[in-house]
Amino acid sequence: MKVLKSIPSEVAALIPKTQLEFTRENLSEFSDAILRLQTRLKKCPKLFGTEKMKEHPAVFHYFLGETDIYICEYNRKDDMFGYSILNGDLDCSEWGYISLPEITGISFLNIDYYFKEQTIEAALYGKYPDYFPKPQSLFTFKAILTKLINKIKRCFSSGKH
C-alpha cells in the first residue's frame, strides 16, 4: 500500500471540508481511498460527456443520512452533473447541475471512499428497487454471469476440469 504524504489538490477539492480535515489527520489510513478518487477523477467525463448515454457512470457518490448525490460529469472547476435524492424524497429526486463548492460546504456530507463503480441507474435501482426501473446494464451483467456459470457447469460435468 502506497502511503501518501499529502492529498493532491484536485482530489482535495472533491472532499467535503469536515471529511477532508479528518482525512488529512489520518492520511495513512485513507491513502488507498485518495488514490481511488484520483483514478476516478481521471476517468470522469467532462460536462455534457454522458448526455447521449442510456446509462451514466456513477463516478462519485456523496451521502448524508437519506441524501445521495451521484456524479457522472465534472468540469474540473466548480460544476458537476448528476442525480440527487435529498432527504429520501424520491418524488422530488432529479438530474441536474450541482455546484462543487456547495456540496463540499455541507456539514457532515461525505464523499464515499468505498463506492463501487457502477452506473447511476444501477446504484438507484440497487438502493430503491421498488421505485427505479432495473437498468439494462444489470440485465447484461446477469446474462454474462449466467453464461459463465453454465460454461463452468458443462466443464465440470464433462470431466474437462
pLDDT on residue 1 = 67
Write out pLDDT tens, residues 31-79.
999 999 999 999 999 999 999 999 999 999 999 999 999 999 999 999 9
Pairing of strands 67-74, 60-64: antiparallel
How far, in Å, are 37, 116, 149 from residue 62 at the CA level? 12, 13, 35
Write out pLDDT tens, residues 71-99.
999 999 999 999 999 999 999 999 999 99
pLDDT band at 18 (very low <50, low <70, confident <90, very high): very high
Q: Give strand ranges (E) for the chain.
A: 60-64, 67-74, 79-85, 94-99, 110-111
pTM above 0.75, yes or no: yes
Residue 17 has pLDDT above 70, yes or no: yes
